[in-house]
Amino acid sequence: MAYQFILTAVEDGILTITLNREKQLNALNAQLIQEIGEALETVRNDKTIKGIILTGSGSKAFAAGADIKEFSNFDIEEGEKLAIAGGKIFDKIEQFNKPVIAAVNGFALGGGCELTMACHIRIASENARFGQPEVNLGLIPGYAGTQRLVQLVGKGKALELLMTGDMIDAQEAHRLGLANNVVSLEELLPTARKMLGKIGKKGPLAIEKVIDSVNAHFDKKRNGFEAEIENFGALFNTKDFTEGTTAFMEKRKANFIGE
C-alpha cells in the first residue's frame, strides 16, 4: 500500500513504520496519523509479523508536535473531532495485539510525545527530547497526553511538565520512566529490533494477553484482576500452551505458532 506521509518496511518479522515529513520535523497531521492506523491493520492478523517499530525520518525528530497550520482556525466542534479521530488511532496503538516500540530519535514534543506514550515500549536516542508544550499555544494535549503521562511519571511530575511546557532530555525521561532505555542514535533501531526479536520468540498469544491485561488496569470500564484471570485461563486452551509446557519438560526451545 502506498502512503503519503509514512514509509513502511518489513524485515525479520518486524514492521517498521517511519514518519516521513523530515523537513517538517515529522509534525503530525491528520492524514499521517490515519496512515499509521492503516499500516497497523495490514499486519494485525499476520502471524509472520512479531512486532512493530515506530520511528521518525532523519536524526532530528521523532515528531516535533502536531501540524499547527492544520488546526489554527478550528472551532470547538472541529477541535473535538480532531482529538477524537487522533485519539482512536492512538488507542489502537496502545491496544494493538502485537508489541509496538517507539524508537525515539530526537524531538518528541506535543502530539509526538503523546504518540510515543501510546506505544508499549519507548527506546530513546541520546539526543531525544520529550515534552508537552501545548500550554505555550493556549492548548492542552488532545490525544490522551494528560492521561498517559500521569500513568508513566506520576501525577506531580506530569502536572509540572504539562503546566510548564518544559522539555526533558533522554536521561531524565529514563529516570522518570517515560523512556525504557537510552542508547546512541546509531544503536537505536538495532536495539529496538533486538528487543522485538527477543519478544518474538515468546508465545504470541501470551504476548497479546499481557498487553490486554496491563491495559485493563488503566481502563475504568474493566477490572484488571478479572481480566488477568480470564486471559490466564484462556491460554490453557491453546496449542502454544501445550507446546510451551512440553518444550519446557523436554528441555528444548518452544516452537510457538500463535494458535
- Catalytic residues, which ones? 114, 134
What SS3 state is found at 67?
coil
Residue whose C-alpha is closest to residue 210's, from 52, 92, 97, 91: 97
| Encoded amino acid at 78, one letter | E
Cα angle for residues 124, 128, 134 (degrees, 5° grid): 115
Q: What's the grid cell of residue 198?
A: 527477543
* Residue 95: DSSP 8-state: T
Q: What share of the chain is helix, strand, coil (3-state, %, to 5)?
A: 50, 20, 35
Question: Helix H segments across 42-75?
Answer: 68-71
Within 13 Å, how many C-alpha atoms sit on residue 148's CB side? 27
Whether 257 and 47 have beta carbons less than 8 Å apart is answered as yes
Q: How many CB atoms lie within 10 A of CB 233?
A: 9
Whether 131 and 169 have beta carbons less than 8 Å apart is answered as no
Q: What's the grid cell of residue 95?
A: 491496544
Q: What's the grid cell of residue 193?
A: 529490533
Whether 65 and 110 have beta carbons less than 8 Å apart is answered as yes
